Amino acid sequence: MLGSSRAALTAGRDALAAALGSGADSSAVAEDLFGVTGALDSSASLRRALVDPSRDATAKRGLVEGLFGAKISAAATGVLNALVSQRWADDRDLGDAIESLAVEAVVASAEAAGGLDALEDDLFRFGRVVVADASLRDALSAQGGDENVKSALVEALLGGKASAESIRLVRQAANSPRGRRFGRVLDSYLAIAAKRREQLTATVTAAVALDDAQRQRLTQALSGIYHRAVQINVVLDPTVVGGIRVQVGDEVVDGTILRRVQEAERALLR
């Protein structure tokens, strides 16, 4: 998002925080906002009307009330009114922002129940399962696939094993990818969850699982480097042989034996 859209999203995030802080049902707000995202995705003319800089904010709020007011909660309507009152760099940014706030509401629900760590772990682990299974990846990423079939597949895979919030987000990623691959959608949801707790997420690739002491030392080391909390997600890959590879955002520290062998091979070929 460009500057004006980022500022608009911040205003929407403030409105969401105020709504949830006043006791609004975060799960219900999320459902409402996901529904509005779908409506905007299906109507370019509606998106343009809601971000039209020549239309004053009062008129756009009236449009929100007329289209959605009777169908969604007052809390969700308030968030939408805050969003459409802002300036947007691109009409598609509005849908992106509403989806992001819907995910934040789901994450807030998990956080309130003490399940934020579990949600992040569920999404990360399920994402790795999907990456490793081409048929499952295709089934969940199919554009225009039957939503009931996808939802049933998600429930069969995660029912009784993951939280309601995790299942809701996985189902949303499968049914409404908004032009993205399933894995990318889950990654975007994980980024929102990490941002809510104001922490970074480090993906650690190792040949064997880290024990609790190793995870704690690595977490403390990374938190010291980045001066903020760091969530560690561990990916097991026997091909690295030994050592670990740590990726935080675009930064990669590769201390695996495989990397050293590859570097030695390159040196021999010079």
pLDDT given at position 144: 67
Assigned token pair, 255: 């201390």
Model confidence over 185-236: pLDDT tens digits? Answer: 999 999 999 887 776 778 899 988 888 888 888 888 888 887 667 878 888 8
Indicate the DSSP class of residue 243.
S
| Residue 228 near residue 198 (C-beta atoms within 8 A) | yes
- Opening angle at CA 116, ends 115 and 120, nearest 5: 120
DSSP code of residue 238: G
Residue whose entry in the numeric block shows the structure tokens 């190793």: 214
> Domains of the chain: which residue ranges?
3-112, 116-195, 198-269
The secondary structure of residue 53, as a DSSP letter, is T
pLDDT in the model for residue 227 = 67
**Distance separating alpha carbons of residues 141 and 139, to the nearest angstrom:** 6
| pLDDT for position 68 | 94
For the whole model, what pTM was predicted? 0.77
CATH number, domain 198-269: 3.40.30
Question: What is the full per-residue pLDDT of the chain (270 aa) written as tens digits?
Answer: 777 898 999 999 999 999 998 899 999 999 999 999 999 999 999 999 999 999 999 999 999 999 998 899 999 999 999 999 999 999 999 999 999 999 999 999 998 888 998 999 999 999 999 989 999 988 888 776 788 999 999 999 999 999 999 999 999 999 999 989 899 999 999 999 988 777 677 889 998 888 888 888 888 888 888 766 787 888 888 888 888 989 887 688 888 877 777 776 777 676
Please state, in angstroms and rounded to a whole number, the distance separating the CA atoms of residues 170 and 164.
10
